Structure 1
Amino acid sequence: MRTLVLRLNPGDDLRASLDAALEQTGTEAAFVVSGIGSLRGASIRFAGAETPARIEGDLEILTLAGSLSPDGSHLHISVSDAEGRVFGGHAAPGCIVRTTAEILVAELPGWRFAREHDPLTGYAELSPRRKS
């Protein structure tokens, strides 16, 4: 296992930045181990919802975790607002960094993650494969 430490800047889109980092390193399988920082708005798809909800305002990233693959990422996030309310779910495009985001990624060089349609769930689900 190798690690990648990222510091995202104000205005960066969280998902796009993680996808770009994966592409730049040529990594085919990775997990977000930890992520903290702040956002100036977030798009989060809540459990069972078809589309993301938009949360405006200054937000703190409490947790960020998920799998990263060339076929797409599966990220979960929890954030809190200025009143301490917590929101969580799938991190969608549109989670924009306010001051910083500090993210630790574990790369798995012996693996390739793919996303394949699963008829049981109806979604593109993780299909991990060892490299030969």
Structure 2
Amino acid sequence: MKVVPLRLTPGQDLRLTIEAWMGEQDEQAGCVISAVGSLSVAQLRLAGAAEARAIHGELEILSLSGTLSPDGAHLHIAVADSSGAVIGGHLCAGSLVRTTAELVIGLLPEWRFNRELDPATGYPELQIKVQPEH
């Protein structure tokens, strides 16, 4: 595993920046190892919901996890508001960094991840393959 630290700055879109960064890498598979920071808005798709819900405020990132591939990411996040109330769900585009987002990403050179539509779920789901040279 190759481990890479990233820091996102105020106003950057957390999801879109991670996806764009992954698309620039030689590796074809990755995962989020660690993430801390804050958001001014979190766009979350909650369990069973069809659409994202916007959460506004001073939000602390408590947890971010997921898989990364050149054709997309599957990311779940938990955030706390200024009263300490926690909400989590599927991280969607439009989630904006407030002060910082400090990430540690693991790149997996021996694997290839991609996403294909799964008729059973209706979503692009993870496909896992071993890289030919490994």
**So what's the TM-score if we normalise by structure 2?**
0.95
Q: Which residue of 1 aligns with 2:63?
A: 63
Task: Name stretches of at least 5 consecutive residues in structure 2 with no aligned partner.
Answer: none
Answer whether contact 2:46 2:88 (CA < 8 A) is retained.
yes
Q: C-alpha root-mean-square deviation of aligned residues, in Å?
A: 0.9
Q: In structure 2, how many angstroms separate the alpha carbons of the residues matched to 1:38 and 1:26?
A: 29
Please say if 1:81 is aligned against 2:76: no
2:118 pairs with 1:118 = yes
Query: Match of 1:49?
Result: 49
SS in 2 for 1:74: strand
SS at match of 1:120: coil
Shift, 1:71, TM fit = 1.5
| More strand as a share of residues | 2
Gaps of 5+ in 1: none
CA distance in 1 between partners of 2:6 and 2:44 (Å): 21
Runs of 4+, deviation exceeding 4 Å: none
Q: Distance in 2 between matches of 1:81 and 1:95?
A: 14
Per-residue CA deviation, residues 71-120 of structure 1 (Å, 9 max, x unaligned), is 21000000000111111000000110011001111000111101011122
2:6 equivalent in structure 1 = 6
Give the alignment's TM-score, normalised by structure 1. 0.96
Who is 2:37 aligned against? 37
Structure 1 window deviating more from structure 2 (57-66 vs 110-119): it is 110-119
